[in-house]
Amino acid sequence: MSRKAWDAYHPHYTALKLKKCPGFHQFFEDGGVDVADVEIELTGDVSGKKLLDICCAGDATQAFSWENLGAEVVACDISPVAIELAKRNAEKIGSRIEFKVADAQKLAPIADNQFDIVYATYTCWLEDIYQTARAWHRVLKPGGRLLLLTHNPVVSCLQEADGALTVERNYFDNPPEYYNFTGTPIADEYGGWNGNVPIVEFFHSLADVINAIAEAGLCIKKMVETGPQDAEFPLLSQLPKYMAWLAQKEMHGVQIGEKT
Ligand SMILES: C[S@@+](CC[C@H](N)C(=O)[O-])C[C@H]1O[C@@H](n2cnc3c(N)ncnc32)[C@H](O)[C@@H]1O
């Protein structure tokens, strides 16, 4: 269901991204970088590192950015349409990124112990975050690091209207949400998209995120909370909309931080 919805939306999504960023191809051809500062700070120097970007979409903005920061990038997405669009964009930019169709929950086409960095975004599209975390762990080299950017689940239960915050969803009883997909915020900016395709989003609590990372064998090194300063939502602006996690796969038989 998710793949069908994204396949239908991606030509519009990529077109809107290119419309929003005139000079998109030139920007990346000239070495441009468009990932949040906090992500760059958490990841540190990526030059010469093998990085897997999961859920790259057709514009592959972050994948091109990591490449321009010096990483050797492989990027994947569940949608074959997204991957086709990403390859076309890469050709125009002169990028050497390798693109693959893969479900983030298994990463089946990706071999074990390959990457220094796994970059993952937005768990709301993934049904089984525990299985997903095991896939992140599997493809990382020993000592490799996960950078995960996702929504703060507590704050995502709130809604701001008329100068007040209300609890819109029950944090403890939050089943999958089935709805008709009208695109992402970028589609809203341009008046929406009426593909009229069913899609589903999944809610993962803070405990689920932490336990999935820990149970997979990844050691959390740092977590940073951020929120866009959005004049339209002055109350929500005071809360952390996003969380960025840095976690590391243990070296064989050695605990991270242990003296050898
Ligand atoms: C909102 S876009 C995010 C794109 C980009 N990472 C960003 O942060 O702007 C979500 C992407 O996740 C992809 N996606 C959804 N479910 C997925 C899954 N199970 N495995 C891999 N990719 C998935 C969609 O095709 C889409 O490209």
- Asked whether 110 and 139 are in contact (CB, 8 A), the reply is yes
Average of per-residue pLDDT values in the chain: 94
* Residue 258 is assigned to a structural domain of this protein: no
Do the beta carbons of residue 118 and residue 139 sit within 8 Å? Answer: yes
Q: In the predicted model, is pLDDT for residue 251 greater than 90?
A: no
- Of 35, 78, 149, 241, the one to substitute when testing ligand 1's pocket (max ligand atoms within 8 A of C-beta) is 78
- For residue 53 and ligand 1, the question of a CB distance below 6 A is answered with no
10 located within any domain: yes
Query: What is the pLDDT at residue 253?
Result: 54
Q: Say how many domains are in the chain.
A: 1
**Geometric angle at alpha carbon 29, from 66 and 115, rounded to 5°:** 20
Kindly state the percentage of the chain with pLDDT values over 70.
97
Shortest-distance atom of ligand 1 to CA 56: 6
Residue nearest ligand 1's atom 26 by CA: 57
Tell me the per-residue pLDDT of 76-125, one tens digit each, with 9 for 90 and over. Answer: 999 999 999 999 999 999 999 999 999 999 999 999 999 999 999 999 99
Residue 256 has pLDDT above 70, yes or no: no
Three-class SS state of 259? coil
**Is 80 within 8 Å of 7 (Cβ atoms)?**
yes
Pocket test for ligand 1, best of 14, 55, 107, 182 (most atoms within 8 A of CB): 55
* Torsion angle (degrees, nearest 10) of CA 34, 152, 104, 35: 10
> Is 255 within a domain?
no
Domain presence at residue 223: yes
Confidence tier at 255 by pLDDT (50, 70, 90) = low
**Is 113 inside any structural domain?**
yes
Calpha distance 255→58 (Å, rounded) = 38
255 alpha carbon to ligand 1 midpoint, in Å?
A: 33
CA distances from 137 to 7, 147, 159, 203, 252 (A): 27, 12, 34, 21, 13
pLDDT at residue number 228: 75
| CATH number where 65 lies | 3.40.50.150
Confidence band of 260 (pLDDT split at 50, 70, 90)? very low
**8 Å CB contact between 105 and 181:** no
pLDDT for 202 beyond 90: yes
Say if 257 falls within a structural domain.
no
Whole-number Å distance, alpha carbon 234 to ligand 1 midpoint, is 28
* Residue-number span of the structural domain to which 195 is assigned: 2-249
Ligand 1 pocket test, candidate residues 18, 38, 83, 125, most atoms within 8 A of CB: 125
Has residue 22 been placed in a domain?
yes
Residue 107 lies in a domain: yes
